[in-house]
Structure 1
């Protein structure tokens, strides 16, 4: 072997040595017989370096995996001999190989097995077992090989080709016939031989048994001698976790329901006799986690058996299995209530399934009711936070508990389905006793008591949250609890978990305040003072801002008396926070958005006069406008880029806040009806000048443009005087992204106001088009994907703009741009339809062409347009689909082709026989279409049914592109 190249295998090798080793590896892989050097090195143990040994196995692995079919019979025999001689070497060696080498060896053995077992090496296992006997080194390699074979043949997580799947099925069938009994016997011998002397080997063997039991004959394992051996391992501390896993796999095996019940019951009997059910006395939580998984598996298996027996009508069998299920519940309850969450979590599945069974029972027995109550008690206990939970800085442990809580929440939902009355009573009992002494109770007790009330909202569902009507008992109990919650003073509790739960629950049951509105003032104060929006924790303040917005949206009709007080109290929370203040604001900009929206809702929906609403809205928004003007002036003077960005961000948020207040208005309560039009017009006057700011243009333009979109909806045609100036600013010094985002604004104005904006559109049309052309004409780097994508999106936006013009009755705007400009625009549409490989843009272009033919293609249409149809539109309809980039297997492209068909149909509608004659006599012959095909195409185009035309055109071009 190349000794110099082998130096590169060392982890400490330099880059050049590593590169040489890599090249050498490729040479050995590709050479028809050089790999034999590696085989010899392994058999003769020529190298002591572990990395060289690993390297040799890698070369062998490649031969078996990728070149086996090309090897001669002698070479295949050599590989088999190499593996067996290497294994023999291990039996005699005083020093075991490193784990990573043993793992790689096992993988190579497994690959040899998969490749040769069905053909050249049917005695694979016999040969290995004969060689190794019970030698611990050999046994260990054998067990690793079995696990590697499972990965290759059985593991369902690994994707296999259909051919590999067929091969693997055949391997398993052949193994069942020929060698599985011998394998099982070898496992028994290994387990028996090493259970007291070599725990590592015993655990490995138990893992193999658990892995293989899913597809071999269960009676080979589930028999008295084997199960007794496994159960004896349950009493050995170093073996019992693996023994538990093995029993779990046995229990999970699919089988006849009656047999499964017998198997589970016999296992349970032995486990119970051996004292394993006394989980309170077990201190080893790792073992209990495995044991709870086993109990869960047994319980779920019994439920599956019961379901099958009920389905086939076996009443006696079902009853017997149900008794077996019930007998496991006390043990499951002990595990569910265990202080370790993993142990508890592992049994939740069986508890779900048991409750699902009870849901199908018509009348619960006293014992079943007791079980349900016990599950409730366990869930309530386990929902409780522990002292170590870090609320301000949640890490992995906290995330795991949150996930575990979700499991418990689902269990609570199942309990509600089985017995809503019992659940309601249990929650009421816990809540009432806790609230009675909340001042002295630890936070986790108070939090879980409120949390349970919150959870009832989903566990006991009501249409549209109508928890306080309908079912009198439920409504009364919930009403009592909500009354206690908002009046007992618990909102003052000094822990953020309780505070958050209080507000979440208040908002979940906001309909309670419709029934008892007298509690609204107290809750409003909680939202507004140190408990809510002014809490010391930013996490609480942020969540409360959102929840307060929701609360007000639901209950604004009941808040008329408090509107001005609320607006006064929140005023200082709504100030813009420019960077120079030096201290953080109580609310973030995102939080302030919710508060502004809430303020807008209060004003818009109040019972005040329109004049009073105008005053309130002006009072709310004037500080923003004043601050905006001040900060904009500062921005224009500021030289530091960091401070410029901070100021621009502040200005952007100011526009966003005003925009958010406008969401409060509706068709019933318009801005105009509320007397607020003038205020928003003033805001527009304040914001539009920012569009001409030479620095931080991106943020400012984005904010003002979004506001204009909103005002088009809110102010209707009152916004129109602002549009020309805003457009002029936005078209100056623009980039592709600016234009792409500006065009939807023009489209919105065009679609909404149509003829009203015709003069403005006449004026802005060509400047906008020229700005687009100019940006698209700028050179761009070929590998600048962002720039290329922006150009593509701008091109699409441009075509969408022309489409809106053509389809909104604004085609005259295009027609009035002068012949040269009209022609220029039309040619860009033809270019987009034919030359640009973007099916989205092409489809839009053909929609435009079809519409323009409809508008201008008739006898009294645009002068010169019929000539344009024949010279450019008709050729485009044939040239575009024939382009190599026009992929007819792509769904979007097929939609484009449909628009091509509709364009041709529209030309026929407008030009009639003249068009058919042109196609038959001039165009189609010029592109070498056979006369009979041309005639057929013309006949189809005269059909009234568009679907027929679309299908024919698709077939026509599919044939043409062959």
Structure 2
């Protein structure tokens, strides 16, 4: 323990010491000397020395004297010289750091003090393997600094990097290419790792250097020879891929790809089935994909350009690759197959345009390949999906894209091929493997998206398609296949049934069988929780579409799902079949069945009461328990259960579109009972947050469903919710009051007048609470509450309920008005500021005329007009931000409204008093006043933007 503590202390001291070295003006020279002379043998010390040097070059290079810059250059070359003499190379992490420092120095000095950087490096290194290793690592580090497009550079750095590349192309690239050729030839046998590094360098640089230096016989032949060396061939493949990917003239690209293909084919690389190394084949597949996509691009350009002969050559080159494409696409290894999907997709696009009859064979071959590859492996773990499973899901998405493209190219062929596979598999489903059965149903499902159809059109209109799909669906639901015992097949069956729910409108006789599958051990009572959960959602969708065909089964269905509708109290101990989230769908489904059934209103009322009464009874019991419970964990469990009960009741109401339906069904009373039962939870002293949230959501629903019948409950609910408020409580309560205000307007005016100031004061109290300076969560909560408050005031003023505000007494009105002015000017939040200007504009419209509120014109001139000018002049008011520009528009419209209500008096005030007080020149003042008097508000908005842009210069 003591030893560990001492080591940890030493590392901390060392770190502090090296940080000081970095910041020191001249201590870096000690590090430079240590590297140049090889003073230290400890790897970490050497690494830190390079770090200190790196820091100097990166952040202090401009401040170094010419002699100090020269010292850095000499240090690096001396360190490299030491490497040539060492029998053992440095550790890779030191070599990488050294390469970064070389690259940084290069970037800083190549264009000025060290134009011979590469010549110095090459003449020193020669063909010494340690030296060549550092040289190649340096080239990759330079690529990262100068070329890598994934790294963001400033405009200045981009200009510098362009100059470096231009200069390198002009002066040094041919010499570098020659050095690569020598390295590749020299180290092929003795140092495969150096050869691989060099291949990586060639691949990186080929994108921006003259391709003819690489794409010539001697270089390409060397690369191709390395395709046959086991240790090199993956890197050689990658390098060839980069060469093929290089942008160039389409005819030249076709020739290059074809010459590569001829050599690869004659060397036996196209015999994919003989190759056992899947890692290499994955790289080779990527190379073939690059070659194929390049050929398709060349053909597209040539065909568009009307170059018929060259386009025909590109097309025949593409077609010659199709057998290889198919071999790679159907390969057992998914990585190999996935790497060729891009070429396959592009090739199908070619087929779409070319449309030769004999190509049907090719299309069918691709279809069969896709169908084969969609099939799950036996190893796929459905119960515990990990990284491999996630990768297969992604790969399946790529295959789906191919299937969709096949549908565009040849819908009839696809339909026929899927029909053949589907019917063949379903006929023998009892003996077929789960993979075969799943993929057969999956293909039927995919047809739905691959063959686009408007609402229900899969089973109307085009007779060939209609009858094929209808036959397959009929087979699916009548074959007994729903009883296949595997998670993937069960899920696919229900997904497909719901995907084609319109089929049952055409053949409703199948509904009872499918309903039973949903309700028994095949669906909602399946042994897999994953299946039960998904089926709960799918069942709700199925019922929503087809409830009109279920009238005779409604009560039977309700009795069968009765146990799934039970609230699971925390002390139950038995694991529930469905989670509470899944139960939401079951409650909604029950609601839909009751509401949309053809029973008389009394029966619907009785059914809805029997659905909701257990929730009401359980809620009362649990709430009493919660009030007396002392243990926090139990409290949380009880509160959860109570929230679920409210959520379930709320979800049943989704079946109603408006109050009329609630009344027609005779269900108003039972929902009022729910409200009566749930509201006391608002004043429960424990677990207040989750309970308030649930009851508030229920109130939102009831405002829609019960309309004015909800109003008697609102005052008590509001009183409870305004007690002991947090910012979040208020922020969520305001939309409820706003919804009531907007919906009921004058009906709630007395209540609003009564609740207005208590609500406003509660908001002020929360906003004034002190918070830690760096507590960002609290600051954000306050910002959101402020926005909600301003939106609430906006709802009141825009709902024609200004009397609510007007009747609050002069002192209270003033308090509220000053908060609106403050919101418009002081807080750098354009969303809130915009709302404040909308409110001010509306108040000017309501109270700013000759017959307006006493004293309000004075408020306009003293506070609203200054706000319209002071807010945009603030440094935080960013006129390049779209949201802020919208705020400025509302600000301009406020000025326009003041002019409409006050007329020439306002213009005179601006000319003689206000604008001169801001030191605005008489000419500009005249301009502002003229624009304000124009009828077109758009002219004013544009002018005000220009006015403030000028003022802020």
Q: TM-score, normalised by structure 2?
A: 0.94
**What is the alpha-carbon distance in structure 1 between the residues aligned to residue 159 and residue 860 of structure 2?**
60
Aligned partner of 2:595 in structure 1 is 604
2:783 is matched with which residue?
Answer: 792
Residue 349 of structure 2 corresponds to residue 349 of structure 1: no
Single out whichever of 151-160 and 812-821 deviates more from structure 2.
812-821
In 1: Cα distance, 2:277 partner to 2:55 partner: 45
Is the CA contact (8 Å cut-off) linking 1:443 and 1:495 kept in structure 2?
Answer: yes
- Alpha-carbon displacement from aligned partner over 1:920-943 (angstroms, at most 9, x marks no partner): 556666676666766665555444
Q: For 2:10, which of 13, 16, 19 is the aligned residue?
A: 13
Which residue matches 1:23? Answer: 20
Q: Cα deviation per residue 1:713-759 (whole Å; 9 max; x = unaligned)?
A: 11121111221222222222322322222222222112111121222
1:54 aligned residue: 47
Counterpart Cα distance in 1 of 2:937 and 2:631: 63
Q: 1:879 to 1:167 in 2, by over 3 A?
A: closer
Residues 610 and 685 from structure 1, CA distance in 2 versus in 1: closer, same or farther, beyond 3 angstroms? same
Q: Deviations over 1:898-926 (max 9, x none)?
A: 44443344334334444455555566666
Aligned equivalent of 1:332? 325
The answer as to 2:267 corresponding to 1:270 is: no
Q: Which stretch has the larger CA shift, 124-133 or 316-325?
A: 124-133
What does residue 571 of structure 1 align with?
Answer: 562
Aligned to 2:552: 561
Indicate the SS of the match to 2:22: helix
Distance apart, 1:774 and its partner CA: 3.3
Query: What residue is the counterpart of 2:796 in the other structure?
Result: 805
Q: 1:39 aligns with which of 20, 27, 32?
A: 32
Distance 1:259 1:707, change over 3 A: same
Tell me if the contact between 2:275 and 2:281 (Cα under 8 Å) persists in the aligned partners: yes
| Distance of 2:910 and 2:167 partners within structure 1 | 69
For the Cα contact (< 8 Å) 1:604–1:669, is it kept in 2? no
1:709 to 693, 700, 704: 700
Task: Give, in whole Å, the separation in 1 of the partners of 2:748 and 2:916.
Answer: 46
| Larger displacement relative to structure 2 (633-642 or 61-70) | 61-70
Distance 1:933 1:560, change over 3 A: same
Q: Which of the numbers 621, 625, 649 marks the counterpart of 1:630?
A: 621
Question: 2-side partners of 1:314 and 1:652: how far apart?
Answer: 71
Residue 241, structure 1, aligned to residue 234, structure 2:
yes
Between 349-358 and 208-217, the greater mean CA deviation after superposition? 208-217
Equivalent in 703, 718, 729 of residue 720 of structure 2: 729
Deviations 1:492-541 (A, max 9, x none): 11110000000001111111111111110011111111111111111111
Shift, 1:549, TM fit: 0.9
From 436, 441, 448, the equivalent of 2:427 is 436
Deviations along 1:648-695, one digit per CA (max 9) or x if unpaired, are: 111111111111121112259622223222222222122122222222
Structure 2 counterparts to residues 150-229 of structure 1, below 5 A:
150-229=143-222
Cα gap change, 1:299/1:934 in structure 2, threshold over 3 Å: closer, same or farther? closer
> For 1:470, what is the secondary structure of its paired residue?
coil
Contact 1:359–1:417 (CA<8 Å) still a contact in 2?
A: yes
Shift of 1:487: 0.9
The SS at the match of 1:601 is helix
Deviation at 1:348, TM superposition (A): 1.2
Is 1:259 paired with 2:266? no
- CA distance 1:882–1:218, shift in 2 (3 Å): closer
SS in 2 for 1:494: coil
- SS of the counterpart of 1:356? helix
Aligned to 2:851: 860
Q: Is the 8 A contact 2:367 2:417 kept in 1?
A: yes
Note closer, same or farther for the CA distance 1:720–1:35 as it changes in structure 2 (3 Å cut): closer
Relative distance call for 1:16 and 1:507 in structure 2 (3 A) is same
Q: Distance in 2 between matches of 1:59 and 1:871?
A: 61
The equivalent residue for 1:3 is none
1:400 maps to 2:422: no
Distance 1:221 1:834 in 2: 64
**CA distance change for structure 1 residues 881 and 472 in 2, over 3 Å: closer, same or farther?**
closer
Question: Which of the numbers 587, 598, 614 marks the counterpart of 2:605?
Answer: 614
Distance 1:784 1:559, change over 3 A: same
Deviation at 1:10, TM superposition (A): 9.0
CA contact (8 A) 2:659 2:706 kept: no
Summarize deviations over 1:342-368 as a string: whole Å, max 9, x none: 111111111111111111113332xx2
Aligned residue in 1 for 2:120: 127
Q: Which of 437, 444, 449 is residue 446 of structure 1 equivalent to?
A: 437
Pick which of 614-623 and 815-824 moved more.
815-824
Asked whether the 8 Å contact 2:22–2:56 carries over to 1, the reply is no
- Report how far residue 79 of structure 1 moved: 3.2
Single out whichever of 391-400 and 710-719 deviates more from structure 2: 710-719
Query: Does residue 696 in structure 1 map to residue 687 in structure 2?
Result: yes
Distance in 1 (CA, whole Å) between partners of 2:67 and 2:811 is 83
Cα separation, 1, equivalents of 2:214 and 2:872: 66
Q: Is the 8 A contact 1:358 1:364 kept in 2?
A: no
Deviations 1:631-663 (A, max 9, x none): 112212222221111111111111111111211
Name the SS for the 1:580 alignment partner: coil
Q: Deviations over 1:828-881 (max 9, x none)?
A: 434444445544334333333332333233343334444444454445445555
Preserved contact between residue 270 and residue 324 of structure 2 (Cα < 8 Å): yes
- Give the Cα–Cα distance (whole angstroms) in 1 for the partners of residues 931 and 883 of structure 2: 24
3-state SS, counterpart of residue 339 of structure 2 = helix
Deviating more after overlay: 832-841 vs 496-505:
832-841
Q: Provide the rounded CA distance (Å) in 2 between the counterparts of 1:884 and 1:245.
A: 53
Asked if the contact 1:479–1:512 (Cα under 8 Å) also holds between the matched residues in 2, the reply is: yes
Aligned positions, number: 949
CA distance in 1, matches of 2:374, 2:459: 26
Distance 2:129 2:826 in 1: 73
- Is 1:822 the counterpart of 2:819? The answer is no
1:481 aligns with 2:472: yes
The alpha-carbon deviation at position 889 of structure 1 amounts to 5.1
**Equivalent residue number for residue 94 of structure 2:** 101
Unaligned 5+ runs, structure 2: none
Q: How does 1:315-330 map to 2 (within 5 A)?
A: 315-330=308-323
Aligned to 1:5: none
Report the Cα distance in structure 2 between the residues aligned to 1:564 and 1:685, rounded to whole angstroms. Answer: 28
1:141 Cα deviation after fit = 2.0
Which deviates more, 186-195 or 120-129? Answer: 120-129
SS in 1 for 2:398: helix
Deviates more, 1:865-874 or 1:43-52: 865-874
Taking structure 1 as the reference length, the TM-score comes to 0.93
Structure-2 separation of matches of 1:774 and 1:794: 12
1:147 pairs with one of 128, 140, 159:
140
Q: Does 1:289 align with 2:282?
A: yes
Match of 1:528 among 505, 519, 522: 519
Q: Is the 8 A contact 2:595 2:655 kept in 1?
A: yes
Q: CA RMSD in A?
A: 2.6
Pair 65,754 (structure 1): closer, same or farther in 2 beyond 3 Å: closer
Contact 2:18 2:48 in 1 (8 A): no
Q: Superposition pairs for residues 410-425 of structure 1, below 5 Å?
A: 410-425=401-416
Moved more, 429-438 or 264-273: 264-273
Is residue 770 of structure 1 aligned with residue 767 of structure 2? no
Equivalent pair of 2:565/2:583 in contact (CA under 8 Å): yes
List aligned pairs for 1:646-657, cutoff 5 A: 646-657=637-648
Report Cα offsets for 1:597-636 as digits up to 9, x if no partner: 1122222222222222222222211211111112112212
